[in-house]
Amino acid sequence: MYPVHDVDAVLLLSLSIASKRRPADLPDIITAIDLAQGTIPSGNKLSDAFARLSAYGLIIEVDGGYTLSADAQQMLASQRKNDDTAKKMYRLKEHLADYHLNGEHMTILVHPDLLLAAVETCQKTKTTGRSWLIDKPKAVWIPTKDLVRDRTLLKGKPLPYKRRKP
């Protein structure tokens, strides 16, 4: 397959995440793209990637959702599980570059407006809670002398001093 775009690898990787149990719809795919990459490509780029990958028979439409074909699943099965996302994307691009078209396949055309609606749906469902990537505030250290002094004020009598033994 030539040329290989970054969006193609992102789409295949996110489809492998989103369609594990059932065919994924567009909001699920967009959520997986956001999870895998952190940024969501434009609707036109995603639409073109859907058309390219479906023309090569790597993406198929099943029951109103999208899933990977057997060839694409084989590509992703050869990935190492311990690799980070950047390495997986690089190796997936290598596999895509070596992939050759086998027969004719139906091209899936996804309109960019549908993808933009899915992006909006994904962004609405994101939680606006606390980000777990931000460090917790550090605890303030209080010297034990200050703690002892406060305790003496509460009880009203001073603590006995320890004498040093020679």
| Nearest C-alpha neighbor of 62 from the set 4, 54, 77 | 54
> In the numeric block, which tokens belong to residue 158?
């001073």
Q: How many C-beta atoms lie closer than 10 Å to residue 28's C-beta?
A: 21
166 residues of the chain, pLDDT tens digit each: 668 888 998 999 899 888 888 888 888 898 888 888 888 888 889 899 988 888 888 898 888 889 998 888 888 888 887 888 888 888 888 888 888 877 778 888 888 888 888 888 888 877 655 555 666 667 777 666 666 555 555 555 666 667 677 6
Residue 24 phi, psi (nearest 5): -90, 140
